[in-house]
C-alpha cells in the first residue's frame, strides 16, 4: 500500500527542463524538497499530494484548508470506551 501526504508548496526552483523543476513543500512543521515534474501547473500556496519526494497531484481548492481546520470524523460516534 502506498501513502501520499498533502503539503503546502512554499517555494519553487525553476529549471530549463520542466522535469527537473523542484519545490519546497511544508508538511506541518517539516520542510522537504520534492519533484514537481508531474504537476507543471503547481503554483506557490497550492496543496500537493506527495509520495516519496514526488508531487503527484494538486489538491482542489475545496480541499486546500489547513489540517487543523479539517474534521474528518466530525459527526461520528466515538469508539466504545472513548471520550467524545
Q: What is the pLDDT of residues 26-45, one digit of tens each?
A: 998 899 999 999 999 999 99
Q: What is the pTM for the complete model shown?
A: 0.72
Fold of the domain spanning 5-64: SH3 type barrels. (2.30.30)
* Residue-level pLDDT, tens digit, the chain, 84 residues: 788 999 999 999 999 998 999 999 999 889 999 999 999 999 999 999 999 999 999 998 775 555 544 444 445 555 555 555
Amino acid 84: pLDDT: 52
Are 18 and 11 in contact by the 8 Å Cβ rule? The answer is no
d(CA 19, CA 73): 38
For the chain, what are the domain ranges? 5-64
Amino acid at each position: 500500500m502506498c501513502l501520499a501526504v498533502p503539503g503546502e508548496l512554499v517555494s519553487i526552483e525553476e529549471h530549463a527542463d520542466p522535469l527537473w523543476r523542484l519545490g519546497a513543500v511544508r508538511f506541518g512543521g517539516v520542510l522537504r524538497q520534492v519533484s514537481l515534474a508531474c504537476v507543471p501547473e503547481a503554483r506557490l500556496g497550492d496543496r500537493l499530494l506527495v509520495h516519496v519526494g514526488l508531487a503527484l497531484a494538486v489538491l482542489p481548492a475545496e480541499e486546500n484548508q489547513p489540517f487543523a481546520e479539517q474534521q474528518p470524523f466530525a459527526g461520528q460516534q466515538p469508539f466504545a470506551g472513548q471520550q467524545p
